[in-house]
């Protein structure tokens, strides 16, 4: 891996961590969406639900009776550490801070 790719991966992980912190810890949907592209898309696998475009993604995250994002565990039910979450593209592994 080249140094520039390694730096890109570190930068991407920082953005992902900020997105998750806003979404899961602070439950701040607007701050979490600020991390996304202008026209984001999300697909929750295996349910194959989600949305394309900012309004659809906002609805996907906000439309949950108990509040909070539908596709992430609550912080209290998630573990933190190696192997604590699924590995995404490029080897990024979602992590949830333990409460």
pLDDT digits (tens, 9 = 90+) for 2-17: 999 999 999 999 998 9
Cβ contact 41:50 at 8 Å = yes
> Structure pTM?
0.56
pLDDT-derived band at 33 (thresholds 50, 70, 90) equals: confident
| Nearest by Cα to 68 from 34, 98, 39, 26 | 26
Indicate whether 37 pLDDT > 50: yes
Triad 8, 12, 15: Cα angle to 5°: 145
Q: Write out pLDDT tens, residues 74-90.
A: 555 444 444 444 444 44
- Please tell me the predicted confidence (pLDDT) of residue 17: 92
């Amino acid at each position: 891996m080249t140094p520039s790719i390694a730096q890109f991966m570190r930068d991407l992980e920082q953005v992902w961590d900020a997105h998750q912190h806003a979404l899961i810890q602070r439950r701040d949907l607007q701050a979490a969406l600020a991390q996304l592209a202008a026209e984001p898309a999300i697909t929750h696998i295996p349910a194959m639900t989600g949305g394309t475009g900012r309004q659809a993604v906002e609805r996907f995250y906000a439309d949950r009776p108990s509040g909070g994002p539908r596709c992430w565990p609550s912080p209290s039910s998630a573990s933190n550490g190696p192997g604590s979450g699924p590995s995404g593209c490029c080897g990024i592994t979602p992590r949830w801070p333990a409460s």
